[in-house]
Amino acid sequence: MKKKKVLLFLAQGFEAYEASVFTDVMGWSRSFGNAPVDLITTGLRPELKCTWNLIVKPELEFEKINVHEYDALAIAGGFEKAGFYEDAYNEKLLKLIRQFDKEGKIIAAICVSALPVGKSGVLAGRKATTYDLLDGIRRKQLAHFGAKIQDESIVIDKNIITSTGPSTGLDVAFILLEMLTDKENVDIVKKYMRFTLDD
């Protein structure tokens, strides 16, 4: 079976935690899993500032993305004040999201990265969720894009995973790994990352 590959989109102001769950869970799968999953990072700028502290250079120029190489698109959330929506709402990303959805490829979004997925139009009439605090402003915005908001931590509607907050990050990454491979692989990765300590 061909090795699966994830494209991780990093917007300006992304939260490092919500990106690292994808890079590191897939990374540990390549070091110790029985079904290694590749991942590459991309973004709309040669250098990105996280919401906090980290300055990161994405690996792949956005213009060089070949959708056919990837089995899933992962998107990290971020803070508005750090510039998240400047990149997350860019038509280039919205078009990419539509391409992935059209081909039935997995789209995994943590926290407010559900919003570009919604804005792209692919969530119209479909179940999804996003950050719920701060007067539910993010959920209202997602509903405005036509999504049927679920009051749950993680919502899976066919190929699209959305979630409520940073707290869901690891679970979303492990769900993505399982959808791309299998549960045994996830169990091995969890063991080596020491989430399971039974042996």
Q: Among candidates 171, 175, 112, 172, which has minimal Cα distance to 147?
A: 112
Residue 131 found at the interface with a second copy (CB under 8 A): yes
Q: Exactly one of 4, 15, 96, 157 binds a second copy (CB under 8 A); which one? A: 15
* Sequence-ordered alpha helix ranges (H) in 110-156: 114-119, 137-144
Shorter beta-carbon distance to a second copy: residue 122 or 165: 165
**Least distance (Å) from a second copy to the CB of residue 56?**
5
Is residue 59 a contact point for a second copy (CB under 8 A)?
yes
| Residues 6+ away with beta carbon under 8 Å from 140 | none
Chain centroid to CA 112: 10
Q: How far is CA 51 from the centre of its chain?
A: 16
Interacting residue with a second copy among 12, 41, 162, 181 (CB under 8 A): 41
Residues binding a second copy (CB under 8 A): 8, 15-17, 19-21, 23-24, 26-28, 30-31, 39-41, 47, 50-57, 59, 79, 131-133, 153, 164-168, 191-195, 197
